[in-house]
Amino acid sequence: MQSTLEKCLNIPEVMADARYCEFQCVLEVVDANGGIQQFEILPSHPQLPIISLRASEATWKKVWSSDPPVGYQSIGALRRQVPDFTLTGEDIHIAQSLPFLERLLETFRNTLHPTESKNINWDGLENISGSYLKVGPKKDYWVYQEQAGSLNKPVILMLHTAGADSRQWHGLMSDKQLQAEWSMHAFDIPGHGRSPLPPGSANWNWRLTEADYLRWIIDYMDAANIKQAIVMGCSMGSAIGLALMAKHPNRVIGGVLLEMPYRSPGRRSPYLNHPKVHGARLAAAWVGSLLSPTSPKSRKDYATWIYSQGAPSTYDGDLAFYSDDFDAHHHTGSVNTQITPLWLLTGDYDYSATPADTLKVANEIPGATFTELKGFGHFPMVENPEGLMPYLLAPLNALKERINH
């Protein structure tokens, strides 16, 4: 154990996260008799705060396995789903150390079970075009939009997750089959990615509301001359997608919604926008813990890389809508699948919007179809778009047949 830890600490990615961690950090293994074996992660110093990770020998064995069970893939998952795991220390020190600890856990597993890490194949990306579009009834604000596919084909409107932007959809938008059969649209909502803040919005003081998000979607569709679209959202994008289907069914052909929450309390952290915490690194670690351990490393790195670039308060301000405000029950009674068919797909490694939560949404909407995505996390279109494609073909083909008739 100690030799593997030392090997991991010399890997550049881990070194980058460890460089400014001013902590004592230990990993503790509890055996069947209650005895505790302690391993030093960061050098001990009596004047430094202590961070301790403790779990049973059986739990650590699952964590370090090549294919960890659901709930054992990350510190974020362990803290929420495994009772015998504890992470102790002051809250702010835990927030400061979390990027390093999440990286160390993943690297430890990869060191024990090396796998080939292929670069992302971006063939098809050249067919995605981007531009700025002036939107709103008064044409008083701008959004950055991207399009791919055939202009004369039905539209899929892709809605990104909290704190992110339309780059999350590049894996699907660059798919040659989708490009041939659909017109794909994605846009960065105001204040995200490459879209400027909405008029009158204070910088670093973001707070998303359902009303604003719905207005921006309708404004975008009007400006882009989209009468109706298939709505495809993920996480926060699926939450607002459900609201769109409930409140504007005349603008929706159907829904293919990924990682749909019923309610998702507890996803916010006061340290995502805190002057004593590196917010970009924490945001990346916060979402990285939701990824599947079996997804390609290059894709997982891309998912967290997007999150490392958000403006201060943007992610947390989005989570105020997603984690505090949103309640699927407010919308499920207004979705009519005879008018707008609905497919819900959720990864089994997702603890933010669990398969059980999404199934609860599906059970409240007669005719909705639910599928559990085995081996996927919270961002399936980013972490494994190639693996997601087979799950999308059935709903998209059904919608295509519906449009043609």
At residue 206, the pLDDT reads 94
DSSP 69: P
Answer yes or no: is pLDDT of 153 > 90.
yes
Answer yes or no: is pLDDT of 115 > 90.
no
- How far, in Å, CA of 21 to CA of 281, rounded? 12
Answer yes or no: is pLDDT of 45 > 80.
no
At residue 56, the pLDDT reads 97
pLDDT digits (tens, 9 = 90+) for 68-96: 999 999 999 999 999 999 999 999 999 99
Q: Position of tokens 């997007």? A: 306
- Homologous superfamily in CATH for domain 129-404: Alpha/Beta hydrolase fold, catalytic domain (3.40.50.1820)
- How far, in Å, CA of 266 to CA of 323, rounded? 7
| Average pLDDT along the chain | 95
pLDDT digits (tens, 9 = 90+) for 331-352: 999 999 999 999 999 999 999 9
**What is the CATH number assigned to the segment(s) 2-112?**
3.30.1050.10
Three-state DSSP at 232 gives strand
Domain spans in the chain, listed from the N-terminal domain onward: 2-112, 129-404
Residues 206-219: what's their mean pLDDT?
97
Q: In 10 A of CB 190, how many CB atoms?
A: 24
pLDDT digits (tens, 9 = 90+) for 268-321: 999 999 999 999 999 999 999 999 999 999 999 999 999 999 998 999 999 999
Residues 148-168: what's their mean pLDDT?
97
- How far, in Å, CA of 16 to CA of 366, rounded? 50
Q: Backbone phi, then psi, for 264, in 5-degree steps?
A: -135, 65
- pTM, whole model, 2 decimals? 0.95
Asked whether the domain spanning 129-404 has the same topology as the one spanning 2-112, the reply is no
pLDDT digits (tens, 9 = 90+) for 189-204: 999 999 999 988 888 8
Nearest in space to 357 (alpha carbons), one of 251, 223, 238, 184: 238
CA 185 → CA 137, 155, 180, 229, 320, distances in Å?
20, 7, 14, 9, 26
- How far, in Å, CA of 275 to CA of 92, rounded? 11
pLDDT band at 42 (very low <50, low <70, confident <90, very high): confident
Answer yes or no: is pLDDT of 144 > 90.
yes
Strands lying side by side in the sheet with 50-56: 36-42, 24-30, 50-56, 86-88
pLDDT band at 1 (very low <50, low <70, confident <90, very high): confident
